Amino acid sequence: MEKERCSETPGGGDLIGMEVKIRSATEEDMSFIEKELKKNNIDADYLDYREFVVATENSDRIGFGRLTKTGESYQIGCVVVIADKRRHGIGSSIVKHLIDYSPVNLVYIPTDLADYFKKAGFLEMKESSKELLDALDKTDRMRGKPNTMIMVYEKPRPGSALSP
């Protein structure tokens, strides 16, 4: 993820006084990211800090997400929030940030959390390209979750009724 495109962004959270910022990851963030990936049984191979954003609260790392390029497509992955900060909108803020900073209009995610991502505006894909199916196959094997599917989010086009 390019530094200049990923400015600090105040994030959500429904706790009073909680201010979450999302920023580009640095090399120094990688030990936190790797530890949390392993703790959550997510593949920690082939990591590049430039693909990650980190959510912080009072400069403490509390979560992260990843946007990777797969062929001509971009996919979100590795969205993790530390256990005691979950259910406050931080993961949703991370996902929204990754979508907003994606250089393409269609963003994919291989996931077994369909209901969660439907709330964020993702739709289940009925057909997928070979590169996305390969990414899904790898994700499915690595995480050992047989109900993994590919979902897609389409950014609203400027000037459309859904665009801000």
pLDDT digits (tens, 9 = 90+) for 97-151: 999 999 999 999 888 889 999 998 999 987 666 666 665 555 444 455 567 788 8
Average pLDDT over residues 10-36: 80
Question: Three-state SS string across the chain, please?
Answer: CCHHHCCCEEECCCCCCCCEEEEECCHHHHHHHHHHHHHCCCCCCCCCHHHEEEEEECCEEEEEEEEEEECCEEEEEEEEECHHHCCCCHHHHHHHHHHHHCCCCEEEEEECCHHHHHHCCCEECCCCCHHHHHHHHHHHHHHCCCCCEEEEEECCCCCCCCCC
Give the model confidence (pLDDT) of 31-90 as tens digits: 999 999 999 888 778 899 999 999 999 889 999 999 998 878 899 988 999 989 898 889
pTM of the model: 0.77
Q: Tell me the two tokens of residue 72.
A: 């001509």
Give the model confidence (pLDDT) of 70-79 as tens digits: 878 899 988 9
Model confidence at 162: pLDDT above 60: no
Band of pLDDT at residue 21, cut at 50, 70 and 90: very high
Chain CA centroid to CA 61, Å:
15
Query: What integer pLDDT is reported at residue 43 of this predicted model?
Result: 79
In the chain, the domains with their CATH numbers are 3-154 (3.40.630.30)
Query: What integer pLDDT is reported at residue 149 of this predicted model?
Result: 82
Q: Tell me the two tokens of residue 27.
A: 């090399």
Distance (Å) of CA 59 to CA 6, 19, 56, 66:
16, 10, 5, 19
Type of residue numbered 91? G
Query: What integer pLDDT is reported at residue 41 of this predicted model?
Result: 84
Average pLDDT over residues 149-162: 76
